[in-house]
A and B are shown apart, each in its own frame.
Chain A
C-alpha cells in the first residue's frame, strides 16, 4: 500500500509541479529584473516538485516491497458514512450560521456532531451543546470581543 502511496504522490507531485511551471511562465515579466521576476520562485517550486515526484516514482519502482511502516487500517463503509455526515453537517453549519445565528446553529451543530460521534445520551448532548455554546458566546463576544458569525 505504501509504495502505492509513493507512486500516487510521485505522480501527483510531478503533475502539480508541471502545472505550476507552465502557469508561472504566463506570469508577467519585468525586463529590468531579468530572470528574478514574479515567475522566478514559482518556477523553482515547479521544478522541485517535478524532481521530487520523479524520485518518488523511481524509488517506488526500484524498491517495490512495502517498508517497515504499518499500513493504515481499513475503514469500514459505516465510518465513511459518518465522515461524510460530519463534512456535510459542517458545510451546512458554515453556510447557514450567519442566517440562522450563532446560538441556534452552534447548539444544533454540537448536538448533531455528538450523535455522529456515537453518543445517544440525549440529556448529556443537550447539556453539552447548550452549555458549550453559551460559554463560547460569552467568552468570544462578551469578554474577548472577538467577532462571531451573527
Chain B
C-alpha cells in the first residue's frame, strides 16, 4: 500500500498536477463561499475542461473543487447564517453564534481545521478499504453489477427531500433518456426520431451542466439573489484558532470523520445526514449539551468534519463499484468516463496509477485546503459581497462554452439549455434534479447487465437469487434504504428540535 501511495504522491506532487489541484481547491473554496453556488455546479462547469487534460490532471482538478467546495460551504454558514448547501446546515447552529460574538476568524478556522481532520480521516479510510472491496468485486458478474446499479439508485431516497415519489419520477425520466440512442446489446436504434444527433444517445454532460449550472442562473434571476453583506465585517485577518481549542475539537473531529466516512459510503445517505448525525452524537456525548447552539466550537467541528468526511466516504462505492455516493461523485464518474475510464474493480488493476493518484490527490487536497482555507476563508467572506450581475452571467457563459467544448457541437449547447429550463421548473415544483442525472449515468449499466443476467439465468429473474453475492447486494439495498430512512428521520428530528430551541 505504501508503495502505491508513494507512486500516487509522486504524480500528485509534480507539475502541472499540483497546480491544477491547488487551483481547484482555491476555486472550490470561493464557489463554496457563495450562497447559491454549489461544489457540484463548480465541478460540472469545469467538467468539459478536464476532457482537454490528461485523466489524472482532470480528476485532480475535480477533486480539488470537490474538497474546496465542501469546506468552503462553512464560510456563508458561519458568516451569514446561510448554509451554502444542506451539508452545512448544522454548521450554522454554532458557527453563526460564534460569529455574532465577534470571533469570526476563530469560527472559520475551526471549520477549516475540522474539515481537514475529517477529510483526512476519510481519505485514509478510503485507501484502506477501497482496494479490499475492489478485489472482492472482481468476482462480480452481470447479475451483481445490475444489483450494484440498483444500490446506486437508492441515492434517490436521500436527494428527494419531502417526496420520494417525485424523486422516483425524476429517476425514471432519467432512465428513459438513457435508453435513447443505440441498444447496448443488439446495436439497434431506439427513440432516435430518425436523427443522427440522437443515434449516439443523449450525453449526460450537457444534462449535468444544464440541470446543475444553467438552471441555477435562472433561479438566481428569479429569486433576485443578492449577497447579504450586512453582517460581514471588513478588515478580517488570517483565520486563527487558539491551541486549546484545537485540542478540544480534535477528538470530536476524529470521531465525526470516521462517522461521516461510514455514512458517505452508504450510497443512499448524503453529506447533510453525516453532518447532522455527527452533531447529534457529539451533543449526546457532551458533559454540558446546553452549550451546543450557543457557539460551541465542537458543534462546528462535528458538522464540518462529518460533511467533509462524507466526501471521502462517497468515493468508496464510486471507485470500487462504479456507483456514485452523491451528486459530486456522479460528476467524478462522468469525468472518468469522459476519459474512457470505467470506475469499478477493473480500474484498480488496469489503471492503478489513476486510482492511487486519486487517493493521494484526496489526501493532498486536504492539506492544500487547510493552508489555503486558513488564508483565504476570511477574505472569501468579502467575496459574497460581489453582485449577482457579475457572477451569474459568467456562469452562464461557462455553461455554454463547456457544453460546446465536449463534442464541438451546438446540438449539445441547445440540449444543455433545454435541460437548464427543465431543471429550473423542476426546482420550482420541488422535484429533485439529481435523480435524472444519476439515472442517466447508472441506467446504461443497469440495463445491459440486467439483460445479460437474464439471458444467462435459467430460472429468470428469481433464479438470480441462487447467487449469494447477488442476494447479499439485494439485502444491502434493503438495509441501505432502511438505514437512510432512519438516519433521515433522526437528522430531521435534530433540525426540528434545533428550530424549536431557537424559536423558544
> Do A and B belong to a common assembly?
yes
Interface of A with B (CB < 8 Å)?
2, 5-6, 8-9, 13, 16-17, 20, 23, 27-28, 30, 33, 36-38, 40-42, 45, 48-49, 52-53, 55-56, 59, 67-69, 72-73, 75, 79, 82-83, 86-87, 90-91, 93-94, 97-98, 106, 109-110, 113-119, 124-125, 128, 132, 136, 140, 144-149
Q: Which residues of A contact B393 (CB under 8 A)?
A: 109-110, 113-114, 117, 128, 132
Q: Which residues of A contact B245 (CB under 8 A)?
A: none
Q: Which residues of A contact B223 (CB under 8 A)?
A: 73
Indicate whether A119 sits within 8 Å of B387 (C-beta atoms), given known contacts A28-B188, A38-B190, A94-B414: yes
Indicate whether A114 sits within 8 Å of B389 (C-beta atoms), given known contacts A86-B218, A147-B405, A148-B405: yes
Please choose the segment from B272-280, B395-403, B480-488 that sits at the chain A interface, where 4 or more of its residues have CB less than 8 A away: B395-403
Q: Tell me the minimal C-beta distance from A95 to chain B in angstroms.
A: 8
Interface of B (DSSP majority class): helix
Within 8 A of A (CB), among B88-107: none
Within 8 A of A (CB), among B217-256: 217-218, 220-224
For A129, give the chain B residue with the smallest CB separation.
Answer: B393
| B169 near A53: Cβ-Cβ < 8 Å | yes
Indicate whether A117 sits within 8 Å of B388 (C-beta atoms), given known contacts A42-B179, A91-B417: yes
- A72: which of B217, B394, B430, B451 is its contact (CB, 8 Å)? B430
Within 8 A of A (CB), among B372-398: 387-390, 392-394, 396-398
| B52 near A144: Cβ-Cβ < 8 Å | yes
Q: Tell me the minimal C-beta distance from A116 to chain B in angstroms.
A: 7
| A146 near B400: Cβ-Cβ < 8 Å | no
Q: Which residues of B contact A94 (CB under 8 A)?
A: 400, 410, 413-414, 417
| B162 near A68: Cβ-Cβ < 8 Å | yes
Q: 16 pairs across A/B with beta carbons < 8 Å? A: A5-B431, A8-B429, A28-B188, A33-B455, A41-B179, A56-B166, A72-B429, A94-B413, A94-B417, A117-B392, A118-B389, A136-B401, A140-B49, A144-B53, A146-B405, A147-B405
Q: Tell me the minimal C-beta distance from B313 to chain A in angstroms.
A: 28
| A42 near B431: Cβ-Cβ < 8 Å | no
Q: What is the 8 Å Cβ interface bit string for chain B, positions 49-75, against chain A (1 contact, 0 not)?
A: 101110000000000000000000000
Q: Which residues of B contact A27 (CB under 8 A)?
A: 188, 190
A87 to B416, CA, bound (A): 12
| B421 near A87: Cβ-Cβ < 8 Å | yes
| A146 near B51: Cβ-Cβ < 8 Å | yes
| A146 near B390: Cβ-Cβ < 8 Å | no
Indicate whether A23 sits within 8 Å of B191 (C-beta atoms), given known contacts A67-B162, A114-B389: yes
Extra pairs beyond A90-B396, A132-B394 (18, CB < 8 Å): A5-B429, A6-B166, A9-B169, A9-B431, A23-B191, A27-B188, A36-B455, A38-B188, A52-B165, A79-B224, A87-B218, A98-B410, A109-B396, A118-B389, A124-B390, A125-B389, A145-B52, A146-B405
Interface membership of B284, Cβ < 8 A? no
A8 to B218, CA, bound (A): 22
Q: Tell me the minimal C-beta distance from B327 to chain A in angstroms.
A: 20
Q: Which residues of B contact A23 (CB under 8 A)?
A: 191
- B221: which of A79, A119, A145 is its contact (CB, 8 Å)? A79
Q: Which residues of B contact A83 (CB under 8 A)?
A: 218, 221-222
Q: Tell me the minimal C-beta distance from A81 to chain B in angstroms.
A: 11
Please choose the segment from B7-15, B170-178, B359-367 that sits at the chain A interface, where 4 or more of its residues have CB less than 8 A away: B170-178
A147 to B405, CA, bound (A): 5
Q: Which residues of A contact B190 (CB under 8 A)?
A: 27, 38, 42
For A72, give the chain B residue with the smallest CB separation.
Answer: B428
Indicate whether A117 sits within 8 Å of B221 (C-beta atoms), given known contacts A52-B165, A90-B417: yes
| B168 near A52: Cβ-Cβ < 8 Å | yes
Within 8 A of A (CB), among B181-223: 183, 185-186, 188, 190-191, 217-218, 220-223
- B397: which of A30, A42, A109, A117 is its contact (CB, 8 Å)? A109
Count of A-B contacts judged by CB separation below 8 Å: 167
A148 to B396, CA, bound (A): 15
| B186 near A33: Cβ-Cβ < 8 Å | yes
Closest 6 CB pairs of A and B: A119-B389, A113-B393, A117-B389, A38-B183, A146-B405, A41-B447
| B169 near A52: Cβ-Cβ < 8 Å | yes
- B176: which of A42, A53, A82 is its contact (CB, 8 Å)? A42
A55 to B350, CA, bound (A): 45
| B186 near A36: Cβ-Cβ < 8 Å | no
Indicate whether A144 sits within 8 Å of B394 (C-beta atoms), given known contacts A5-B429, A94-B410: no
Interface membership of B450, Cβ < 8 A? yes
A30 to B390, CA, bound (A): 56
Q: Which residues of B contact A6 (CB under 8 A)?
A: 163, 165-166
| A148 near B404: Cβ-Cβ < 8 Å | yes
For A125, give the chain B residue with the smallest CB separation.
Answer: B389
For A33, give the chain B residue with the smallest CB separation.
Answer: B455
Interface membership of B294, Cβ < 8 A? no
| A110 near B169: Cβ-Cβ < 8 Å | no
| B396 near A113: Cβ-Cβ < 8 Å | yes
Q: Which residues of B contact A41 (CB under 8 A)?
A: 175, 179, 443, 447, 450-451
A10 to B191, CA, bound (A): 23
Interface membership of B48, Cβ < 8 A? yes
| A52 near B390: Cβ-Cβ < 8 Å | no
A132 to B393, CA, bound (A): 10
Interface membership of B132, Cβ < 8 A? no
Q: Tell me the minimal C-beta distance from A87 to chain B in angstroms.
A: 7
| B408 near A82: Cβ-Cβ < 8 Å | no
A110 to B397, CA, bound (A): 8
| B221 near A116: Cβ-Cβ < 8 Å | yes
Interface membership of B454, Cβ < 8 A? yes
Q: Which residue of B162, B176, B387, B413 has the most chain A CB atoms within 10 A of its CB atom?
A: B176
For A17, give the chain B residue with the smallest CB separation.
Answer: B172
Q: Tell me the minimal C-beta distance from A22 to chain B in angstroms.
A: 12
